[in-house]
Structure 1
Amino acid sequence: MGATPAQVAELQRLVDEGKLNDKLARTVLEGVIAGEGSPTEIMTGRGLEVVSDTGALTAAVDEAIAANPDVAEKIREGKVAAAGVLVGAVMKATRGQADAKTVRELIIARLS
């Protein structure tokens, strides 16, 4: 089978709107190619939309901070590059569905 130009355009629009990241878009595209429906139908049906709601992400951020006190201390000391470790932990906990930019902002805000 394959993806039509309209489906590819719809997939790109979902990425541009921040509803899908690259990893999730690949998964949706696989579903489109398999004939499961439109990108929006697959994203919704499989629950693949990016999570950028700060309320939903706060618990995962708090858990990552608690599980990595040494990294959290480095960030408190001003080494914000260390936030990548915590962002990775949150991405893993959310199966890659967290908005990484929002997660990074939450981590830095929590530890400042």
Structure 2
Amino acid sequence: MDGLIEVSYTVMCKNDVSKEVILAEVLSNEKVMKAIKSEFASGLRNLVLSAKEESTVYIKTQKEVFEFTASKNDFADLLELAEEDARKHKRLKKECDGVELVDIVTIDS
């Protein structure tokens, strides 16, 4: 196969956070309730916070996305190539020892 692919990846660390919380759970938290009321309804009384739909709030560590280009022939080795790229650019540190592939895009010649 001829051509190139652009690979995007992030570095995974031990202290990364990835959590899902239901919006109703967030709104029922007393500290969150007070903060929302003081910010958006200051001076008003007898207020109730609610949501129309059951939504999920995602709490994740913000990650920087890195990119490199590889041959389509190397598709099976992309994870290894991403780890090599991270090591080459000294992105793997003490608590960060792996990579996660984010996106793979074919580059048309």
Is TM more than 0.5 here?
no
Q: Which has the higher contact order (CA 8 A, sep 6+)?
A: 2
Give TM-score scaled by structure 2 length.
0.29
Give TM-score scaled by structure 1 length.
0.29
Choose between structure 1 and 2: higher strand proportion: 2
